[in-house]
Amino acid sequence: MIPFLDLKAVTELHADEIQQAALNVIQSGWYLRGQATAAFEQHYAEYIGCRHCIGVANGLDALTLIYRAYIEMGVMQPGDEVIVPANTYIASILAITESGLSPVLIEPDTDTLEMDDCLIEQAITSRTRSILIVHLYGRCAYTERIGELCRKNNLKLVEDNAQAHGCRYKNQRTGSLGDAAGHSFYPGKNLGALGDGGAVTTNDDALADCIRALANYGSSRKYVHRYKGRNSRLDEIQAAILDVKLRHLDLDNRHRQQIARYYYDHISHPLISLPRRLDDKQNVYHIFPVRCTERDRLQQYLTEQGIQTLIHYPIPPHRQECYKAWNSMVLPVTEQIARQELSLPISPVLTLQEAQAVVRVLNDF
- The CB-of-4 to ligand PLP minimum distance in angstroms stands at 15
Per CB under 6 A, does 184 bind ligand PLP?
yes
Q: Is 74 exposed, middle or buried (0-12, 13-18, 19+ CB in 10 A)?
A: exposed
Q: Which stretch binds ligand PLP (CB under 6 A): 70-78, 155-163, 166-174, 344-352?
A: 155-163
Question: Chain centroid to CA 110: how far?
Answer: 20
Q: Is 245 exposed, middle or buried (0-12, 13-18, 19+ CB in 10 A)?
A: buried
Q: Is 191 exposed, middle or buried (0-12, 13-18, 19+ CB in 10 A)?
A: buried
Among 40, 41, 56, 59, binds ligand PLP (CB under 6 A): 59
Per CB under 6 A, does 192 bind ligand PLP?
no
- The CB-of-158 to ligand PLP minimum distance in angstroms stands at 12
Among 89, 137, 169, 288, binds ligand PLP (CB under 6 A): 89
Cβ contacts of residue 231 below 8 Å, gap of 6+?
57, 215, 216, 217
Among 72, 107, 160, 179, binds ligand PLP (CB under 6 A): 160
Per CB under 6 A, does 87 bind ligand PLP?
no
- The CB-of-292 to ligand PLP minimum distance in angstroms stands at 22
Among 128, 130, 163, 283, binds ligand PLP (CB under 6 A): 163
Q: Are strands 341-344 and 288-292 parallel, antiparallel or unpaired?
A: antiparallel
- The CB-of-89 to ligand PLP minimum distance in angstroms stands at 4
Q: Which stretch binds ligand PLP (CB under 6 A): 54-62, 168-176, 220-228, 231-239?
A: 54-62
Among 133, 162, 249, 298, binds ligand PLP (CB under 6 A): 162
Closer of 64 and 257 to ligand PLP (Cβ)? 64
Among 108, 175, 178, 198, binds ligand PLP (CB under 6 A): 198
**Number of chain residues interacting with ligand PLP (CB under 6 A):** 16
- The CB-of-286 to ligand PLP minimum distance in angstroms stands at 8
Nearest Cα to 110, choosing from 306, 340, 321? Answer: 340
- Spatial separation of the C-alpha atoms in residues 113 and 118, rounded to whole Å: 14
- The CB-of-310 to ligand PLP minimum distance in angstroms stands at 12
Closer of 88 and 128 to ligand PLP (Cβ)? 88
Among 70, 186, 313, 323, binds ligand PLP (CB under 6 A): 186
Q: What Å distances lie between residue 223 and 68, 216, 219, 226, 227, CA to CA?
A: 21, 11, 7, 10, 12
Among 10, 44, 52, 58, binds ligand PLP (CB under 6 A): 58
Terminal CA-CA length for the chain: 18
Per CB under 6 A, does 201 bind ligand PLP?
no
Closer of 193 and 298 to ligand PLP (Cβ)? 193
Per CB under 6 A, does 92 bind ligand PLP?
yes
Cβ contacts of residue 82 below 8 Å, gap of 6+?
67, 96, 101, 102, 103, 104, 128, 129, 130, 131, 132, 158
- What residue is closest to ligand PLP based on CB? 59
- Spatial separation of the C-alpha atoms in residues 336 and 93, rounded to whole Å: 19
Helix 236-266 × helix 15-28 angle, to 10°: 160
CB atoms within 10 A of CB 31: 14
- Spatial separation of the C-alpha atoms in residues 311 and 334, rounded to whole Å: 13
Nearest Cα to 83, choosing from 21, 28, 145, 41? Answer: 145
Per CB under 6 A, does 134 bind ligand PLP?
yes
**Residues engaged in binding ligand PLP (CB under 6 A):** 58-60, 88-89, 91-92, 134, 136, 160, 162-163, 184, 186, 196, 198
